[in-house]
Amino acid sequence: MKRVGLESSLAIAEAVRLAGVDVVSAYPITPQTHIIERIAQMVADGDLNASYIPVESEHSAMSGCLGAAAMGVRTFTATAGQGLELMHEVLPVASAMRLPVVMAICNRALSSPLSIWGDHSDIMAARDSGWVQMFAENGQQAFDLTLCAFRIAEDVEVLLPTAINIDGFHLSHVIESVLIPEQGEVDKFLPELPRPYVLDPRKPLTMGDFATPELYIEAKKSQDVALRNSKKVILQAWQEFEGVFGRRYSPVETYRADGASVLLLTMGSFSEVAMEAIDRLRESGEKVGLIRLRLWRPFPFEEFRQVASQADLLVVLDRAVSFGGPGPVCSEVQAALYPLSKKPQVAGFIGGLGGRDITTEGFEDMIRNARKKADAGRLGEVEIIGVRE
């Protein structure tokens, strides 16, 4: 294992190389371009023995991955923003057909106005596509979770496509130090797993069949149960990962949350900024802590409730708008808390849209603002913060 300075995008490309991916089918889009350019270079240079399919659109990129995954080979793609939207039609097909495609999403705002910069609008619009979805906070996690994604997706108990979300620019274009393991270590963690159902002319089968109303709902139930059950394998994969590489991941991670009466909840790279804010507030004697939601789908209900239920106030940052509704993460956590008898009040904020920064001071303000609203009994509506008036 060696520590190198590497852009997060290139760290993901490195994970793809070490995973020995067989087929990459991708279309370039900012801010994902560096990932697939690097992979294309690796394939061209003979550093990665894979088929690289330069398709004409993201719709084709995902379709190419579907075909390759159906043949039973390790498959990767990456996209962002509008690219994920154009891919959308094929996303639920991949999960319903139980094809373990792995995809990195460099989260980007949606047009219009056209924005190449980061927020979570793209993945929130693809939330219900049936994919395993997780969020990375830094370059190391981007690398680690990409390796884990193959281990999870291809497990015979899972067989579901898996997306690693990294914030566009805030993560994708940041160079920082990343520990890159040796091939042997990766091979130990990521063996080639047997695939029970693949396209093979010697053993013909039908995939992606047609279903009348007599069958469709059974197919959906089976798919939903598979996604819910994938959590067991995700936990196991992360445990194995810790065993080999020494770094630990959990569906819900916390920072200084012990005894906190106020908890902030974030996803993605802004979590590390929020940690700075938590440190400052803790130093001034405030009982605040942080929840970092690592696993977005399947939603980790148990782990989340365990951590969140003890607080008095939960402050949720959404980096996407559900127009006319609450923030998508906020509505999710509220739904998760609702059945509990002891639960915190929830203050929902939307911020960091279209690449707008949130600083440590911004997070401190957010927590103060939430406290004020809670004291005044004004927590009802979600608030978009950092907006010029």
Of 80, 86, 96, 264, which one interacts with another protein (CB under 8 A)? 96
CA distance 149 to 136: 12
The binding track of 128-167 with respect to another protein, each residue x by CB under 8 A or -, is: -------------------------------x--------
Listed ranges 42-50, 96-104, 109-117, 304-312: which one lies at the site for another protein (CB under 8 A): 96-104
DSSP letters for 82-132:
HHHHHHGGGHHHHHHTT---EEEEEE-PPSSS---S--SHHHHHTGGGS-E
Token code pair at residue 355: 């690449």
Nearer to another protein, 212 or 284 (CB): 212
- Decide: is 228 part of the binding site for another protein (CB under 8 A): no
Which H or E run includes 311?
none
CA distance 340 to 304: 12
Smallest CA-to-CA distance from 250 within 281, 291, 221, 201 is with 291
Q: Closest distance between another protein and the C-beta of residue 98, in Å? A: 4
CB 108 within 8 A of CB 116: yes
Of 222, 239, 306, 359, which one interacts with another protein (CB under 8 A)? 222
Cα distances from 191 to residues 185, 235, 269, in angstroms, run 10, 17, 30
Q: Closest distance between another protein and the C-beta of residue 202, in Å? A: 11
**Strand duo 75-79 + 288-293: pairing:** unpaired
Of 47, 89, 218, 375, which one interacts with another protein (CB under 8 A)? 218
CA distance 202 to 211: 25
# residues contacting another protein (CB under 8 A): 26
Nearer to another protein, 70 or 290 (CB): 70
CB 371 within 8 A of CB 313: yes
The binding track of 178-217 with respect to another protein, each residue x by CB under 8 A or -, is: ------------------xx-----xxxxxxxxxx-xx-x
Nearer to another protein, 214 or 381 (CB): 214
Of 97, 102, 257, 350, which one interacts with another protein (CB under 8 A)? 97
Smallest CA-to-CA distance from 227 within 128, 293, 136 is with 128
CA distance 277 to 262: 13
Q: Closest distance between another protein and the C-beta of residue 210, in Å? A: 8
Q: Closest distance between another protein and the C-beta of residue 226, in Å? A: 7
CB 356 within 8 A of CB 350: no
Nearer to another protein, 44 or 211 (CB): 211
Q: Closest distance between another protein and the C-beta of residue 96, in Å? A: 7
Of 40, 53, 99, 316, which one interacts with another protein (CB under 8 A)? 99
DSSP 8-class letter at 251 = S
CA distance 227 to 221: 10
CA distance 79 to 58: 8
Angle between helices 139-153 and 8-18 (to 10 degrees): 30
Nearer to another protein, 96 or 178 (CB): 96
Q: Closest distance between another protein and the C-beta of residue 57, in Å? A: 24
Which residues contact another protein (rule: CB under 8 A)? 96-99, 159, 196-197, 203-212, 214-215, 217-219, 221-222, 225-226
